[in-house]
Amino acid sequence: MTTALEATDKDFEHMMQMLSGFFVTQIAGAVASYSIADHLAKGPATAEQISAIEGIDSIAAFRLLRACGSLGLVTFDGLMFSATPLLGTLRTDVPGSLHGLAIAWSAPGHWLPWGRFLDAVRTGESQTVPALGAEIWDYYGQKPGEGAAFTHAMDGFTSGIAREVARTVDTSTAKLAVDIGGASGTLVHSLLMANSQLHGIILDLPHAVPSATAAASALGLAERSSALGGDFFIYVPEADIYLLKHILHDWNDGAAVRILKRCRQAMRPGGRVIVIEMLLGEIGESGVAPLMDLNMMVMLPGRERTLAEYCALLKNAGLQLSKSTPIRSPMVVIEAVAA
C-alpha cells in the first residue's frame, strides 16, 4: 500500500506562490497600463516622479514598485527605482513585447471568464458569453480599448517570432501570401521584407483593416500589401502561401478543418499552408502550452494540440505534413501541401 508523500515547507511556499498568481497578473497589468517599463527605460526614477507623469497616487505607486522589486522587475537604491531586463519584456518598443498581453490578460475580457473556471471544467464549455454577455471577438468589438490591447498583444508576440518564421519558410517560388486572421499583418510583412518579389494580403475582421493598412504604409510595403475585411470560414482568396498563426487553436476540430479546407480549395498549384502554433508535449513537461490549453477552454471553443493532432486535422482537410520546424519554444512551424 502506498501513501502520499508528505508536503515540505518548500512545497507550502511553492503553493503560496502559485495561489498568488492572480496577484502577479494584475501587478503586470498595472505596470503595463502605467507604462512603468517605458519610463524606467529612460533611467532610474522615484515613485513620485512616475506617479506625477501617470496621474496616480504616489504612495500606491511606491507600493506597486516595491512589489515589483520582490518579483525581480526593478531594483531600488533607497531613493530611485531602476529597471531589470525582466521588466524590459513589458516595454512597448521591443520585439516580442508582452506589454499588450499584460493589459489584455488583466482586463475584464479575460479576467471575468477565468472567474468562472469551475464552470468551464464542469461543462467543458467557454465562459465568455456567461461572463461577458458576448463571444470574445464580439466583446472586443464593443470594447475597442480592450480590443486594441489584445491586437497589440498579438502583434507583440508575432514580432518576437516573425523573423524566425521568415527564415524558416522558403518563399522563393511564391508570388502571394495570405495572412489568415493576421491582425496588423506583422507576420506576412516580415516575409515581404525578406522577399522583395512577394505580395501579401491580410484577411481579418473589418475592424482590423485600418491597422493593417497603416502598418504596411509605415514599413514602405503599401504597394505589395493589402488588407481584406472578411470571414475566413466563408471566403479565402487564392494564393501560394497561407499563414495561420494562432488561428487553429481558437477553434474545435470541426471548425479548424473547415478553415484548412477553405485554404486547400483556394490554394494555387504547388501552394502551402503554414500553421504556426505551440505544441503540447508529454504530460509532466514544464511549459506554458497546457496552461494555454485551459485558456482556450475558458475563452473559446478551441484547444492546444500535439503534432499528431495537427496532422490529423491536415489529413481531414485534404492536406499532408511536409515539414515541421521548432522555433522559439514551444512554438513550431508546420508546413503542409496538398495530399
Q: What is the pLDDT of residues 39-63, one digit of tens each?
A: 999 999 999 999 999 999 999 999 9
Residue 15: helix, strand or coil by DSSP? helix
Whether pLDDT at 78 is above 90: yes
What would the mean pLDDT of 180-202 be, rounded to a whole number?
95
**Residue 7 included in any domain:** no
Q: Minimal CA–CA distance to 273: which of 208, 177, 187?
A: 177
**Residue 4 included in any domain:** no
Q: Are both 117 and 85 inside the same structural domain?
A: no
- What does the pLDDT look like over 154-185, one tens digit per residue? 888 888 899 899 999 999 999 999 999 998 89
Contacts for 95 with CB less than 8 Å, ≥ 6 apart? 159, 160, 163
**Residue 12 included in any domain:** no
Q: Are both 120 and 84 inside the same structural domain?
A: no
pTM: predicted TM-score of the whole model, two decimal places: 0.91
**Residue 98 included in any domain:** no
Q: Minimal CA–CA distance to 163: which of 96, 218, 230?
A: 96
Strands 199-204 and 267-278: unpaired
pLDDT band at 152 (very low <50, low <70, confident <90, very high): confident
Q: How far apart are CA 258 and CA 239, in angstroms?
A: 17
Q: Which residues are catalytic?
A: 249
Q: Minimal CA–CA distance to 98: which of 109, 108, 106, 88?
A: 88
Q: Are both 116 and 199 inside the same structural domain?
A: yes
- Residue 288 is classified by DSSP as S
Q: Which residues share a beta bridge with 273? A: 242, 336
- Residue 6 is classified by DSSP as P
| Helix intervals (H) in 115-185 | 117-123, 128-132, 136-142, 144-168
Q: Are both 52 and 84 inside the same structural domain?
A: yes
What would the mean pLDDT of 10-27 be, rounded to a whole number?
96
Q: How far apart are CA 194 and CA 104, in angstroms?
A: 31
Q: Are both 211 and 251 inside the same structural domain?
A: yes
**Residue 149 included in any domain:** yes
Distance linking the first and last C-alpha atoms of the chain? 53
Q: Are both 311 and 240 inside the same structural domain?
A: yes
Q: Are both 34 and 118 inside the same structural domain?
A: no
Q: Are both 139 and 51 inside the same structural domain?
A: no
- What does the pLDDT look like over 207-259, one tens digit per residue? 789 989 999 999 999 999 999 999 999 999 999 999 999 999 999 999 999 99
Q: Report the CATH number at residue 53.
A: 1.10.10.10
Question: Looking at this protein, which amino acid is placed at residue 256?
Answer: A
Lowest mean pLDDT: which of 175-184, 194-203, 270-279, 322-331? Answer: 322-331
Q: How far apart are CA 241 and CA 273, in angstroms?
A: 6
**Residue 32 included in any domain:** yes
330: cell is 514551444
Q: Are both 213 and 244 inside the same structural domain?
A: yes
- What does the pLDDT look like over 87-143, one tens digit per residue? 999 999 998 899 999 999 999 999 999 999 999 999 999 999 999 999 998 999 899
Buried b (16+ CB within 10 A) or exposed e, 242-257: bbbbbbbbbbebeebb
Helix (H) or strand (E) holding 259: helix 253-266
pLDDT band at 151 (very low <50, low <70, confident <90, very high): confident
Domain count within the chain: 2
Residue 295: helix, strand or coil by DSSP? helix
pLDDT band at 2 (very low <50, low <70, confident <90, very high): low
| Predicted local confidence at residue 105, as pLDDT | 96
Q: Are both 188 and 325 inside the same structural domain?
A: yes
**Residue 140 included in any domain:** yes
Q: How far apart are CA 100 and CA 156, in angstroms?
A: 7
**Main-chain dihedrals φ then ψ at residue 178, nearest 5 degrees:** -115, 125
**Residue 41 belongs to what domain range?**
19-89
Q: Are both 170 and 210 inside the same structural domain?
A: yes
| Helix intervals (H) in 45-143 | 47-54, 58-70, 99-106, 108-114, 117-123, 128-132, 136-142
Q: Minimal CA–CA distance to 207: which of 190, 183, 225, 187?
A: 183
**Residue 9 included in any domain:** no
Q: Report the CATH number at residue 211.
A: 3.40.50.150
Q: Are both 69 and 153 inside the same structural domain?
A: no
